[in-house]
């Protein structure tokens, strides 16, 4: 009998993608024989993903659901190999079940979808992956909204706070939240504000600009001014509050938030957002 250790169990798990307990049981049943344990897992359908592990899963669906009270939104991205499978009812039903599980239990699915996952892999014959999930619970006076773009290729959740309860249903505020969801889907910001951009990313951008300007032999003070302008433009690309508004590029997101503040007579703050793009 081969020795059954945590390392052995983990080795079998890495080879098969089966759960830790399933791997342990298979090794005990085969007295530590790795090949025999793999065979048992395959016979039980627990290692079926391995047959498809070399296939890339770039197609699929991003789906979001909203709780009845509008205060919780769950979103999931599930990938498969072909657009054909992504359009089938079986796959759509699996994605819906995953998203509902996120709504009910939070982002960490653990082994809760294992049986359903193995079933859909078996039904489709493709490498199906639950790639990522998100769950937003309204954390303040305000509103959360989801938006699914391009038939499930892009998904967004955004949370916006206000100061007064009556503002939540103000048409101007409602429109702002919706416009922000559209903005995030279309313009793909990576951060909310410049303070969120890691220092190493800013320095890497500056290095690029310094190399571009190296031949111009600018004085140090002039160079720093140019770099500052370049970084501000960079923020306009990657930070939501500085992006040009997609519906009116002459305005920034900060401008439309300020317009909402003026119209409602209330404080308005974008709290957070998440954006999924299929396969990205």
CATH number, domain with residue 65: 3.30.479.20
Q: 59 in a domain, yes or no?
A: yes
- Torsion angle of alpha carbons 166, 169, 175, 176, nearest 10°? 40
Read off the CATH number of the domain in which 10 is found. Answer: 1.10.8.10
- Torsion angle of alpha carbons 44, 46, 51, 52, nearest 10°? 140
- Same domain flag for 76 and 130: yes
- Give the full edge-to-edge strand order of the sheet including 129-137: 59-66, 72-80, 129-137
| CA proximity to 144, closest of 198, 181, 114 | 181
Structurally, the chain folds into a number of domains equal to 3
Q: What is the pLDDT along the chain (280 residues), one digit of tens a residue?
A: 567 887 788 778 767 777 788 888 889 888 888 888 887 877 776 654 444 444 567 899 999 999 999 999 999 999 999 999 999 999 999 999 999 999 999 888 878 888 899 899 888 888 899 999 999 999 999 999 999 998 899 999 999 999 999 999 999 999 999 999 999 999 999 999 999 999 998 988 888 887 777 777 777 788 788 888 889 998 999 999 999 999 999 999 999 999 999 999 999 999 999 999 998 8
Last residue within a domain, chosen from 137, 156, 184? 137
Last residue within a domain, chosen from 119, 137, 155? 137
Write down the pLDDT at residue 51.
Answer: 44
Under DSSP, the state recorded for 88 is S
- Same domain flag for 204 and 217: yes
Q: 270 in a domain, yes or no?
A: no
Q: 216 in a domain, yes or no?
A: yes
- Same domain flag for 132 and 66: yes
- Same domain flag for 130 and 87: yes
Q: Would you list the DSSP string of 183-234?
A: HHHHH--SBSSGGGS-HHHHHHHHHHHHHHHGGG---HHHHHHHHHHHHHHH
Write down the pLDDT at residue 261.
Answer: 98
How far, CA to CA in Å, does 147 sit from each of 16, 63, 138, 182, 203? 36, 9, 16, 7, 33
Residues 6 or more apart whose Cβ sits within 8 Å of residue 234: 202, 205
The C-alpha atoms of residue 278 and residue 52 are separated, in whole angstroms, by: 19
Q: 153 in a domain, yes or no?
A: no
Q: Which helix (H) or strand (E) holds 81?
A: none
How far, CA to CA in Å, does 242 sit from each of 174, 217, 252, 253, 272? 21, 30, 6, 6, 15
- Same domain flag for 94 and 41: no
Q: 113 in a domain, yes or no?
A: yes
Containing structural domain, residue 18: 6-52
Q: 243 in a domain, yes or no?
A: no
Write down the pLDDT at residue 248.
Answer: 95
CA Rg value for the chain: 24
- Same domain flag for 35 and 59: no
Q: 254 in a domain, yes or no?
A: no
pTM reported for the whole predicted model: 0.77
Cβ atoms 134, 107 nearer than 8 A: yes
- Same domain flag for 65 and 129: yes
- Same domain flag for 59 and 129: yes
Write down the pLDDT at residue 52.
Answer: 46
Write down the pLDDT at residue 55.
Answer: 56
Q: 45 in a domain, yes or no?
A: yes
- Same domain flag for 59 and 123: yes
The C-alpha atoms of residue 159 and residue 191 are separated, in whole angstroms, by: 14
- Torsion angle of alpha carbons 32, 33, 34, 36, nearest 10°? -130
């Amino acid at each position: 009998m081969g020795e059954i250790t945590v390392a052995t169990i983990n080795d079998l798990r890495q080879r098969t993608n089966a759960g830790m307990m399933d791997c342990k049981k298979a090794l005990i049943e085969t007295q530590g024989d790795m090949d025999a344990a793999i065979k048992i897992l395959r016979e039980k359908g627990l290692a079926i993903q391995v047959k498809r592990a070399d296939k890339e899963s770039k197609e699929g669906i991003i789906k979001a659901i909203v709780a009845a009270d509008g205060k919780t939104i769950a979103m999931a991205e599930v990938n498969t190999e072909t657009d054909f499978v992504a359009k089938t009812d079986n796959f759509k039903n699996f994605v819906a079940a995953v998203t509902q599980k996120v709504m009910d239990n939070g982002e960490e699915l653990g082994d809760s979808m294992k049986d359903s996952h193995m079933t859909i892999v078996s039904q489709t014959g493709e490498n199906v992956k639950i790639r990522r999930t998100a769950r937003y619970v309204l954390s303040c006076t305000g509103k959360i909204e989801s938006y699914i773009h391009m038939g499930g290729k892009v998904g967004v959740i955004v949370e916006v706070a206000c100061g007064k309860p009556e503002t939540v249903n103000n048409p101007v505020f409602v429109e702002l939240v919706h416009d922000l969801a559209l903005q995030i889907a279309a313009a793909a910001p990576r951060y909310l504000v410049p303070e969120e951009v890691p220092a190493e990313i800013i320095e890497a951008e500056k290095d690029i600009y310094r190399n571009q300007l190296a031949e111009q032999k600018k004085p140090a003070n002039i160079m720093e001014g140019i770099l500052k302008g370049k970084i501000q433009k960079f923020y306009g690309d990657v930070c939501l509050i500085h992006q040009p508004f997609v519906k009116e590029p002459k305005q920034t997101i900060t401008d439309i938030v300020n317009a909402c503040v003026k119209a409602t007579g209330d404080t308005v703050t974008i709290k957070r957002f998440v954006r999924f793009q299929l396969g990205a």
